[in-house]
Amino acid sequence: MNNRKSPTPNSSAAADSVGFAALAAEPQAIRRMKRVYEIDGQRFSTLEEFYEEISRVLIPGAGWGRNLDAFNGILRGVRLGYPETVRQIECRFTVCHPLSRRKVSDDLALARNQVGPTVFDWLVEIIGIHCQGGREVESGVELVLA
């Protein structure tokens, strides 16, 4: 943690042009397009101050749990994790067909216990269906991360 500079995310033009199909097909593509952030170790000496630095550098203005699990979620990019999954399933439960309520209720119980797919997983699955190698690739949809 020496030689600190002001935190600036860096990404190459090549990384910005990587299509989602490449990401779905090649996990290494995700590694190539990750942004780099500098955390200034001189700005904190307690865990609470570390959380402040994380907030300032990684997610300015966003609320988060300020605990190690939440920090892990930030690093994984899980903003659409279990809290949002629970909320979405609760909304689904209010409008689902009565015959579907048992299944939705079971899904809700799992999400509340942080088990099973999250909203983020749902999105990745749907996008993957339309990418190269997906079962609906003929849809002609190309998604590019920007």
Amino acid identity at 31: R
Q: What is the pLDDT of residues 79-117, one digit of tens each?
A: 677 888 999 999 999 999 999 999 999 999 999 999 998
Q: What is the pLDDT of residues 28-78, one digit of tens each?
A: 544 455 566 778 888 888 999 989 988 888 778 777 888 887 787 777 765
In DSSP terms, which residues pair with 10 in a beta bridge? 36
Identify the burial level of 127 via C-beta atoms within 10 angstroms of its C-beta, where 0-12 means exposed, 13-18 middle and 19 or more buried: middle
Take residue 77 and report the two structure tokens written for it. Answer: 């990019």
